[in-house]
Structure 1
Amino acid sequence: MNEQLAQNPGLRIGTAPDSWGVWFPNDPNQVPWERFLDEVVASGYEWIELGPYGYLPTEPHQLEDELGKRGLKLSAGTVFTGFHKGEDEWKRAWDQALNVAGLASKLGAEHLVVIPDLWRSDATSEVLEARTLDDAQWKKLGAGHDRLGKALLEEFGMKQQFHSHADSHIGTTREVVRFLDETDERYTNLCLDTGHFAYYGGDNVKLIEERPERIGYLHLKQVDPTLLFDVLKNDTPFADAVTQGIMIEPPQGIPDLAPVIEAVANIDSEIFAIVEQDMYGCGVDTPFPIAKRTREHIFGCTHLARIS
């Protein structure tokens, strides 16, 4: 066992503001950012994501001080894109990148998690566009992400990690695989979100085994398999599904996290695995005990997990 650990120390396990119910930069019902940081430490984590830009301080020295005095480090930031809509989307994406990657890279983060626009609004549940893309839109999507990934590498030394998502155009296994086929692994790889991939029936371990070269980052979460069938049958908007508890505390849901962590650790032990349980709308006292129990579960179910 000691020799195995020396060869493969396992993945760095962190957490994110999403696990504290944070979806927006400013929402009076969300956990204040200082409390979030303090509870991350009390939960036993060292790595965090930036969350929505503007939730944590955006002045680099202030953020560095706040993280530093708590012994925390930053793994990634997040932006939102809609490249399938055409060339006009480039400015929107790059403006976000200048802010988010500009800040995160100053604090040592090497990854930018990129989430596609949803076809159904997560704020109002309004249907905004068709649920599927045509061939021309797929081409625009792939080209836009490769352009963004190349620019991020050249400008900030950061890697783009694409995040498939419920209520988006890239959610099912076939859609995720087509996205990989439409993009260049030099510039675009996956933030494999275990819960969102399972939301549409995806087999996380199978994808990892079949496309190991495209796994660059992990979001760890579980979906409630009993509630999921009701959500899909009733065409429940994702935001409503979240408030109903579709993303559930491990180990009560799927997929089993240990095989996912172990499969990715065998690809590259430098890949981050960030716990990101969608909990928007929860009470401010709810996240902390869940975060602590989740960390304890992960470290109890596999030896291929580490804090730093």
Structure 2
Amino acid sequence: MSNIIVGSAPDSWGVWFPEDPQQTPYTRFLDEVAASGYEWIELGPFGYLPTDPKQLLDELGERGLKLSAGTVFEHLHQDDSWDAVWTQIEDVAKLTAAVGGKHVVVIPEMWRDPATGEVLEDRHLTDEQWLAKTRGMNELGRAMFEKYGVRAQYHPHADSHVDTEENIYRFLENTDGEFVNLCLDTGHVSYCGGDNLAIIRAHPERIGYLHLKQVDEAVRAKVAADDLPFGEAVRLGAMTEPPRGIPEMPPLLDAVADLGIDIFAIVEQDMYPCAPDAPLPIAQRTQRYLGSCGVPAVRFS
């Protein structure tokens, strides 16, 4: 029988950076995520939560919280990128493993700046760059598992080179499922015009982790029409709380339950920047909504 273990993440409290005066302080995030009925969280950007394992375990333990995964970005398609990426991965993997987490969510860096919209590189990879990225992820996934026992879960992302359904398939078909699987972010897939259920049907064996979010269809249409950068889209409310957007959650949760696996499903609603008092009521409503979807596999502990 499947267990879809639902948690939340700093992103749902407007956290995108290790330090930023606009963000919720980490102690408030921890207090409020526990008050929302969640037991599982992610690290968020490395350095937002304490990086000393003992301190982090103490902070989590005081609130009855546990860690599902760390999060890190990669740019393995770029020349001579391995050392820089591995240094970041190793920091995150080491801390994640030390406090009991079993996964690291790996996100492709964006080709344009999410804050300014500045184009940083071509939005399309060459065949050689695709090969470097997929080979690099195979090596990265193997290294983090063999050294730290954590699994790489790859997270397609808007304004990155692994974004559309087509690019997700290309990535999966050129990586090794023994060491690299998919963090299916339902919001980013829908934002980029993809079909979450089709991806689950096409590669059921590669679904290793979930990020649950929904997209406002009207904002998504404006983004597509005006080619807006992701940061501006978020400020316009592109990512919305369920059940106000797409994709529909009950059919998606049913499809995941049918996979017959235990899997984390982390609520991750992009909200940067946001008013300090906005996240808690949204998190509470989302927790209640997901529990009411009628999917017996959904758990919060």
- The one-letter amino acid paired with 1:25 is P
> Structure 1-normalised TM-score?
0.96
Q: Distance in 2 between matches of 1:268 and 1:74?
A: 23
Letter in 1 for 2:206: R
8 A Cα contact 2:115 2:232, kept in partner: no
Asked whether the equivalents of residues 76 and 132 of structure 2 are also in contact (C-alpha less than 8 Å), the reply is yes
Listed as ranges, the matches of 1:212-231 within 5 Å are 212-231=204-223
**1:226 to partner: Cα distance:** 1.4
Matched, 1:289 2:281: yes
Q: Could you give the per-residue CA deviations for residues 231-255 of structure 1, whole angstroms, max 9, x where no partner exists?
A: 1110111001001100011100000
Separation in 1 of the partners of 2:44 and 2:198? 29
What residue number does 1:37 align with? Answer: 30
Identity %: 56
Quick one: which amino acid aligns to residue 115 of structure 1?
I
Shift of 1:97: 1.6
The aligned runs of 1:53-64 (5 Å cut-off) are 53-64=46-57
Aligned to 1:4: none
Trace 1:188-199 onto structure 2 (pairs within 5 A). Answer: 188-199=180-191
What is residue 112 of structure 1 aligned with on the other side? 104
Of residues 226, 242, 246 in structure 2, which corresponds to 1:254?
246
Contiguous gaps of at least 5 residues in structure 1: 1-6
Q: Give the C-alpha shift of residue 268 in structure 1.
A: 3.9
Does the CA contact (< 8 Å) of 1:262 and 1:302 recur in 2? no
Would you say the 8 A contact 2:164–2:194 is kept in 1?
yes
| d(CA) in 1 for partners of 2:223, 2:283 | 25
Amino acid in structure 1 at the alignment position of 2:293: C
Kindly state the Cα deviation for residue 160 of structure 1 after the two structures are TM-superposed.
0.3
2:144 equivalent in structure 1: 152
Question: Of residues 14, 18, 40 in structure 1, which corresponds to 2:11?
Answer: 18
Structure 1 residue 210 displacement after superposition: 1.4
Equivalent residue for 1:241? 233
CA distance in structure 2 between the aligned counterparts of 1:37 and 1:219, rounded to whole angstroms: 19
Listed as ranges, the matches of 1:119-130 within 5 Å are: 119-130=111-122
The number of residues matched between the two structures is 300
CA shift, 1:124, in A, is 2.3
CA RMSD across the alignment: 0.9
Deviation of 1:22 after TM superposition, in Å, equals: 0.2
Structure 1 outlier segments of 4+, above 6 Å: none
Contact 1:189–1:215 under 8 Å retained in 2: yes
Match of 1:170 in 2: 162
Letter of the structure 1 residue corresponding to residue 18 of structure 2: P
Whether the 8 Å CA contact 1:261–1:273 is kept in 2: the answer is no
Which of 228, 248, 255 is the matching residue for 1:263? 255
CA distance in 2, matches of 1:268, 1:177: 22
CA distance in 1, matches of 2:115, 2:102: 29
Cα distance in 2 for partners of 1:118, 1:268 equals: 33
- C-alpha contact (below 8 Å) 2:76/2:137 kept by paired residues: yes
Does the 8 Å contact 2:36/2:287 carry over to 1? Answer: yes
Deviation at 1:267, TM superposition (A): 1.6
